[in-house]
Amino acid sequence: MKIKNAKFLISAPNIKLCPELNLPEYALLGRSNVGKSTFINTIVNNSKLAKTSNTPGKTRLINLFEITSDKKTFILADLPGYGYAKVSKKEQAEWQKNLEEYLKKRKLTSTIQFIDARHDIQKNDILMQEWLKFNSIPCFNILTKCDYISKNEINKKLSVIEKTFENRAFAFSSKNKIYIESILNHFEEQI
């Protein structure tokens, strides 16, 4: 699969304000700063499409992007990261509710849970994964920032993720385009 075009569609605070698109849709999940927005920009080869940041964002919005490849058009939904402590309990609870509603009601092709290669799997990654399994929501994993670790460590981490979560897991680095192809192939297999 080759990406031909990518455009930003809309930012919405909850599912009620997301348009019905009738296209295959993937939701990007993971802790703040794991590299979700950078992943979108890397696969579409446009560093400005999704906002990236060194400081985790405070806006709790669902950002929808329409991606057109030579095979198919699909949607990537960039979701606010979980595990961002610097917002109030009330805001966290509100977003948690919006996120769960979105994941349950939106007919997703799959979710993609991002894990930072520099860290071990975190408690909130596990909780999210258990919640997805409980609700029968499909998921695969992407190990981001693989440029920070060796090939050997990458393979070890991937097999730990695959065993722990019983999901497919793929390596990724925004600095090295070699990883993109197998991820795009996986998209293609699903839609």
Footprint of ligand GDP (CB under 6 A): 30, 32-38, 52-54, 56, 81, 144-145, 147, 173-175
Shortest distance, position 110 Cβ to ligand GDP, whole Å: 18
Residue whose CB is less far from ligand GDP, 58 or 105: 58
113-132 CB burial, b ≥16 within 10 A, e <16: bbbbbeeebbeebeebbeeb
Shortest distance, position 22 Cβ to ligand GDP, whole Å: 26
Query: From the list ligand GDP, Mg ion, none, which binds 129 (C-beta under 5 to 8 Å, kind-based)?
Result: none
Residue whose CB is less far from Mg ion, 37 or 98: 37
C-alpha to C-alpha distance for 164 and 89, rounded to whole angstroms: 29
Region for residue 37 given its phi and psi (left: phi exceeds 0; alpha: psi -120 to 50; beta: otherwise) = alpha
63 binds Mg ion (CB under 5 A): no
Q: Which residue is nearest to Mg ion (CB)?
A: 37
What tokens appear for 12 in the block? 């919405």
37 binds Mg ion (CB under 5 A): yes
DSSP conformational letter for 118:
T
Shortest distance, position 28 Cβ to Mg ion, whole Å: 8
Q: Which residue has the tokens 């258990």?
A: 130
